[in-house]
Amino acid sequence: MTSAENTELNALAQRSIDGATRHLISAAKTVYGTPETGFNEHKTSNYVLEQLRGIGLSVETGIARTGMKAVLHGSSPGPTVAVIAELDALRVPGHPGANAETGAAHACGHHAQIGSLLGVAMALNTPEIKKSLSGNVAFIITPAEEFIDIGERLTLKASGAIEFLSGKQEMIRLGTFDDVDMAMMVHTSATNGDSAFSIGGTSTAHVSHQVRYLGKSAHAGGAPDQGVNALQAAMIANLAINTQRETFREADVVRVHGIISSGGTSVNAIPSDVLYEGRVRARMVEAISTVAERVIRCYRAGALALGTAVEVQTIAGYHPLRQDPSMQEVFARNVERIIGPDSITIVPDDRTTGGSTDMGDLSMILPLIHPYVNSASGVGHGHDYLIEDYNRAVIAPAKVMATTIIELLGGGAGTAREALDKYKPTMTADQYVAAQREQFTIETYEPQQSHLAHGDEVTGNIAELPVKPA
């Protein structure tokens, strides 16, 4: 493809997206108005399905419950580039866009991704552009990026509806990405400074714990000595975790946080069954292993102090994000062509924030980019996170991704092939699935001869008892 031809196709793509601006922004706002949590995005999924079919694409549905995939075929063989958007919302009851019943709210900007993906699909489905592509473009809409509602997802896992607890993890397991060679998505942000876009950097990996303390109920006023307080055990564990914070290395970007999601049933009864949900994040998987070992000791310490039993369920989380430098260059070049000079900030590869994404998992097996577009205000995942500029949040990413794909797959897909030649995967998809499965464990520490939930006497030494694997 000549430079003139590329310029002409880029201009055509941008005109196509400009002509659909009102529709694309309306689509994003429609998704914003129907927020749903992960693996429950049925209304959102149905709406996106209608939109993709309206563009003329054939869509595979029901992937990982609510996910879907549509493939646009170029005129000749070549690599497949995926454009990804996420369906799910958070639970932020105080957010102005929150669902009154569920508290679900798009306080992370996923709804803007839907509008952008539809814009890319419209532009690339233009006959002149589609004819120029050597390869395919897969539009993959993923559920459950936010790693929340762990209890609900474990129930789905137990029923066989899912195996892994996030959308992209499940899609990797199901083979959705087996025919994909590279991928991209754009996330909204309120923290990019003066630049329209930022690209580069990494995210934290994480692992989650479901920690159940089993004590003994009793009248809190009349016979507190007859009870074993599971809530106090969880609180001591949390205090013990706090004593570990001075041991965390700054370079590891460690974050440890948790909630008590079930802390008893009545204020006048000693809590006998308490659930603590914990999460350990770090820049590298190796650091997580070290910190998680210390944290689990703290869980056990709380049980030992009060004499409860404790069950620690470890749940496979996310890998750190690894972005492809060759794809970054192409994307950055197209940002500056469309938005203007100095419109993108290149973030050093080793710079990380405390957040996590399952795009990190996907980056273990194929090259990808995860840029941010500065278009929001407030704090991510907070009640004040709002898209302020929908043209910036939806239309600009659609144009940049469309022109990036034209450059990657145009001219015989030479640019894409060159990037793929340089990329070295961390693991295969099969290796990834096996590694994730190994992380799911259940360990139980309990006093001897105790069945505390049923009121038996508490005896024994937790620290001396063997671990009972699941």
Q: Are residues 411 and 459 in the same domain?
A: no
Q: Taking the CB of residue 343, how many other CB atoms lie within 10 A of it?
A: 18
Residues 442-458: what's their mean pLDDT? 61
158 and 217 assigned to the same domain = no
- Percentage of the chain with pLDDT > 90? 90
**Residue 109's pLDDT is what?**
97
**Residue 194 has what pLDDT?**
76
User: For all residues of the chain together, what is the average pLDDT?
Assistant: 93
Query: What pLDDT was estimated at residue 290?
Result: 93
- Same domain for 408 and 368: yes
The one-character DSSP state at 274 is: E
Same domain, 299 and 394: no
Number of domains forming the structure of the chain: 2
Let me know whether 147 and 106 are in one domain: yes
CATH number of the domain where residue 306 is located: 3.30.70.360
Q: Within this chain, do residues 35 and 168 fall inside the same structural domain, yes or no?
A: yes
Q: Can you count the helices (H) and strands (E) in the chain?
A: 15, 20
Q: Which position has the higher pLDDT, 187 or 191?
A: 187
- Are the C-beta atoms of residues 165 and 315 closer than 8 Å to each other? yes
Mean pLDDT of 81-101: 97
Segment 133-147, tens digit of pLDDT: 999 999 999 999 999
154 and 263 inside one domain: no
Stretch 411-427: mean pLDDT = 97
Distances (CA, A) of 470 to 218, 314, 353, 441, 444: 30, 11, 34, 6, 8
Coil/strand/helix, residue 71: strand
Indicate if 159 and 290 belong to the same structural domain.
Answer: no
Which DSSP state fits 467? P
pLDDT tens, 210-226?
999 999 999 999 999 99
The answer on pLDDT for 155 being more than 90 is: yes
Torsion angle defined by CA atoms of residues 266, 267, 272 and 274, in that order, rounded to the nearest 10 degrees: 90
**Taking residues 240-251, what's their average pLDDT?**
94
Q: Are residues 198 and 210 in the same domain?
A: no
Task: Say whether pLDDT at 451 is over 70.
Answer: no
Residue 326 CA, distance from chain mean position: 23
Q: What span, in angstroms and rounded, lies between the C-alpha atoms of 243 and 224?
A: 28
- Supply the DSSP string of 185-225, one letter for each residue: --EEES--TT-SEEEEEE--EEEEEEEEEE-B--BTTT-GG
Burial (CB < 10 A; 0-12, 13-18, 19+), residue 287, is buried
| Ordered DSSP codes for 8-43 | HHHHHHHHHHHHTHHHHHHHHHHHHTS---TT--HH
Confidence of residue 460 (pLDDT cuts 50, 70, 90): very low
Q: Helix 21-32 crosses helix 3-19 at what angle (to 10 degrees)?
A: 60
Q: What is the CATH number of the domain that holds 87?
A: 3.40.630.10
Residue 458 pLDDT grade (very low, low, confident, very high; cuts 50, 70, 90): very low
Q: Is 430 exposed, middle or buried (0-12, 13-18, 19+ CB in 10 A)?
A: exposed
228 and 299, same domain (yes or no): yes
Residue 252 pLDDT > 80 = yes
Residue 463 confidence (pLDDT) above 70: no
Chain segment 424-438, per-residue pLDDT in tens: 999 999 999 999 999
> Do residue 191 and residue 69 come from a single domain?
yes
Range of the domain at 168: 3-203+321-431
CA distance 146 to 355: 11
Q: First and final CA of the chain: distance in angstroms?
A: 58
* 57 plus 183 within the same structural domain: yes
